[in-house]
């Protein structure tokens, strides 16, 4: 872009000004090549054959504080669509999550084959 502009115009600081213009121009940002590696092909989730074989887990956070709790752990069976809603805090760490799962889900349904969550690895 700088080369195209400097073919007909020049002023002090032209490179910085052209760069700032391009960074703020919506169409330039949409057409920009991304340096990230493509995510790869999506794989469908396994289809459960029986209850509590495959579950999904997520948090509902940033709720109003009630009796010291500000979050809800949601555990959902993908076969029956049955769910457990467990009150917790946003500061719950891995050990606390394991205890919540053990005390509210595992004791009734045992360990599932897979757990899906959007919280990363």
* Residue that wins the pLDDT comparison between 8 and 118: 8
SS3 65: coil
Q: Give the chain's largest Cα–Cα span.
A: 76
Whether 25 shows a pLDDT value over 80: the answer reads no
> Do 58 and 97 reside in the same domain of the chain?
yes
Q: What's the mean pLDDT when you consider all of the chain?
A: 88
pLDDT confidence bin for 118, thresholds 50/70/90: confident
Q: Is 45 a domain residue?
A: no
Closest CA to 97 of 63, 76, 67, 73: 73
Q: Which domain holds residue 14?
A: 2-31
Q: Count how many domains the chain has.
A: 2
Q: Does residue 55 contact residue 61 with C-beta atoms inside 8 Å?
A: no
Q: Which pTM does this prediction carry? A: 0.64
Q: Is 63 a domain residue?
A: yes
Lowest-confidence range among 35-49, 51-65, 103-117?
Answer: 35-49
CATH number assigned to the domain comprising residue 102: 3.30.420.10
DSSP 78-118: TTT--EEEEEE-TT--HHHHHHHHIIIIIHHH---SEEE-S
Residue range 74-110, pLDDT digits in tens? 999 999 999 999 999 999 898 999 999 999 999 999 9
């Amino acid at each position: 872009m700088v080369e195209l502009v400097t073919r007909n115009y020049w002023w002090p600081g032209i490179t910085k000004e052209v760069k700032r213009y391009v960074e703020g121009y919506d169409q330039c940002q949409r057409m920009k090549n991304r340096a990230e590696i493509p995510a790869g092909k999506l794989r469908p989730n396994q289809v459960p054959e029986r209850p509590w074989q495959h579950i999904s887990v997520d948090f509902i956070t940033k709720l109003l504080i009630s009796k010291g709790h500000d979050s809800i752990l949601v555990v959902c069976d993908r076969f029956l669509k049955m769910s457990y809603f467990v009150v917790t805090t946003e500061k719950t760490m891995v050990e606390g999550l394991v205890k919540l799962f053990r005390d509210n889900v595992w004791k009734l349904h045992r360990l599932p084959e897979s757990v899906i969550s959007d919280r990363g690895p």
